[in-house]
Structure 1
């Protein structure tokens, strides 16, 4: 009897050991599969000596905060407090960073210098270079004070003109987001992207007067997978400009005006082969802009291709040139239309569901190269009456088709 009891006790203990072992194993497995939550640390620029009174340059304080944040092993949040005005000369934040994510929480007002010695012939006011996983947000204001600099912008008449700085310049920035910021009176472009990938820009507001030269809203070059959405852009040049060697650009829910519209190009300013592929502009509104949607290449030098372009679900309100393809673009009048274009030219372009009013008689102008005609251009449900009468369309060297309602009568 005692042997049977002892045996039962041993069996119970053995079973209990197995159960406890299984439970411990499961607990360890669960713990080992917890999502990684990086540490977060805040870096307030005031702690680095920043002066919020708008009178002295804060560049050194901002750069010190960036250095510490960039080297923190976690999520770094650089705080620029609300209520302060922070004067800044030209500065560039350089990575790569050790931080898992670097956030600039801009709540105050950043104000650019008006001293020409700190901006004349400089391409950048605030720059970011070689940075991944960057976030700019906060609801603050970037004031470029461009009204003190636009008189220096004489590039249309002076071939040796000096560069003026973009408000924000992103070079080699990847997997990043910019949202909930306001940029006013940029000296040059508000945002300039070069060699960037996987960047989203949303809920931004750009303001500059219609007579401010070269103040593009967002200029994109040599970049891919860029998404611009839910924003208002009113400026003196292109609201969005997509230039050389860029692909997979999406612009949605953007209101443009004043400005020169949304442009691809110009391309062909040098002898190198260039391309723009995969641009989608949809659900956008243009208000009293000089142009609507536009593609422009220079006649004698363009050797590349513009392809897979879609403009759809767009409202034009009193736009002077709503739809343009200009393969004979020659702003300086130094190019020759006698030299034929080469490469693949412009192809696979769709204008769909574009409605509103044209503030000029010519609502649609498609001027393509005789040597390399535009191919597969589609007009689908385009209704753009002239505000003072009947509108018309002009086409040359275009191969394509049209469907649905057309006003003016199509020329494709």
Structure 2
């Protein structure tokens, strides 16, 4: 009888692969000529360390020791032969010269599977030198500034214990990724820094954002076209614009957004709490199966908001949104509203919101003008349990 071991060895011989597990191997960027003085660019050293780690058939570990490393824009590309950990113990510092702003990415990872980014270190985007160039809120054709960290076509990966400060644009941009867990990250930028979204997700599925703190000048988390099976839990948001689905409907042929859960989160003095926003006029798409549950609001403006007339520039046509919003639950949301209207469901007359549920809402107004109010327009659904303000469904 042929034993299992002999069968395994025979299989290894046939497919010409090694069946001996290789030990983890460290690829220290200092061994490749990196300099941690905060001034010399380290793109070549980092690129060489990544290349060797990516070609290693075992568990490669790119290690960035303590210190400050100036680093120009670069993309770390797979596919890799083994698994790679990118371990940041030091601080990576983005360039400040104007010509470096022409790219949409400072540090990127593409076509990588089983990637881990960790180490407790910093990504310092040096955003203060670039924010005054950002006019995207009023100029649709604006030039995009670089995101600090961007993942494209990355699968089955984990980002944890990383700090991102002062990104020129979005801190972490996730596109066309699957099964990514982000935990214990700290994101920080001034409240008035433009378009510095904390985590932006598009065309991705199975993304989990856990146990993190996000303080920024735009959305703490934003989910746009093609976001599916997203979980946000135990996140503290503020300052910022809250957690948003959208904006949706601005571009042609956008993919639906579905199966979104935001739970056990805290919002502190944000411009919005939990929000769904769509353009009017818009192309046709949908947002569905969305749950916002067990959420604390502390002095938040617009704690619960569906906005289907979203137009930040104020120059939009008088029209209705064609984005369909359905099967949305707001449950056990409590705290204080800094605006008199604590619940606003401003839906489209062309496609009214369907099956919206308000369950156990307790959001008194924190102000001098009276009680909090709820406003529902073209919204169909139900209210149950505690309703402060009085339910409008």
TM-score > 0.5 by shorter chain: yes
Tell whether 2:149 aligns with 1:176: no
Tell me if structure 2 keeps the 8 A contact 1:274–1:303.
no
Q: Does 1:96 align with 2:96?
A: no
Partner of 2:128, secondary structure, is: helix
Is this contact kept in 2: 1:268–1:274, CA < 8 A?
no
Q: How many equivalent pairs are there?
A: 383
Alignment match, 1:290: 271
* Separation of aligned partners in 2, 1:349 and 1:307: 7
The aligned runs of 1:41-56 (5 Å cut-off) are: 41-56=25-40
- The residue correspondences of 1:26-105 to structure 2 (distance < 5 A) are 37-82=21-66, 84-99=67-82, 101-105=83-87
Shift of residue 404 of structure 1?
0.2
Change (3 A) 1:397 1:27: closer
Structure-2 change in CA distance of 1:112 and 1:26 (3 Å): closer
* Structure 1 contact 267–274 (Cα < 8 Å) conserved: no
How far apart in 2 are the matches of 1:25 and 1:75?
Answer: 29
Deviations 1:353-401 (Å, cap 9, x if unpaired)? 0000000100001000111100000000000000123100111001000
Q: CA deviation at 1:224?
A: 0.4
The 3-state SS of whatever aligns with 1:47 is helix
Match of 1:304 in 2: 285
Match of 1:110 in 2: 92
In structure 2, distance between residues paired with 1:267 and 1:26: 54
2:13 alignment partner in structure 1: none
- Give the TM-score of the pair, scaled to structure 1: 0.89
- The aligned residue for residue 379 of structure 1 is 358
Whichever of the two has the greater Rg, that structure is: 1
The alpha carbon displacement at 1:163 in A equals 1.1
Per-residue CA distance 1:20-67 (angstroms, 9 max, x = gap): xx9x969989999xx974421100000000001111100111001111
The residue correspondences of 1:159-308 to structure 2 (distance < 5 A) are 159-308=140-289
List alignment gaps of at least 5 residues for structure 1: 1-21
Structure-2 residue corresponding to 1:342: 322
Kept after mapping to 2: 8 A contact 1:109/1:142: yes
1:157 offset after TM fit, Å?
Answer: 3.2
Q: Distance in 2 between matches of 1:367 and 1:36?
A: 60
Q: Which position in structure 2 is the counterpart of 1:14?
A: none
In 2, Cα distance between the equivalents of 1:25 and 1:189?
55
CA deviation digits over 1:156-178, x for unaligned, max 9?
23344221000000000110000
Residue 342 of structure 2 contacts residue 374 of structure 2 at CA under 8 Å; is this kept in 1?
Answer: yes
TM-fit CA distance, 1:295: 0.1
Structure 2 partner of 1:351: 330
For residue 126 of structure 1, the aligned residue among 107, 119, 129 is: 107
Residues 58 and 87 in structure 1, CA contact (< 8 A), matched pair in contact too: yes
Superposition RMSD on alpha carbons, in Å? Answer: 1.9
> Kindly tell me: are residues 48 and 401 of structure 1, through their superposed partners in 2, closer, same or farther at Cα, counting changes over 3 Å?
same
Asked if the contact 2:72/2:106 (under 8 Å) is kept, the reply is: yes
Change in Cα spacing, 1:332 to 1:36, as seen in structure 2 (3 Å) is: farther
CA distance in 2, matches of 1:151, 1:98: 42
How does the TM-score come out when normalised to structure 2?
Answer: 0.94
Of residues 332, 341, 353 in structure 1, which corresponds to 2:313?
A: 332
Q: Are the equivalent residues in 1 in contact too, given 2:225–2:254 (CA < 8 A)?
A: no
CA distance in 2, matches of 1:26, 1:365: 64
The CA distance in 1 between the partners of 2:139 and 2:252, in whole Å, is 21
Determine the C-alpha separation between the residues in 2 that align with 1:155 and 1:352: 34
Would you say the 8 A contact 1:328–1:337 is kept in 2? Answer: no
The runs of 5 or more residues in structure 2 that have no matched partner are: 11-18
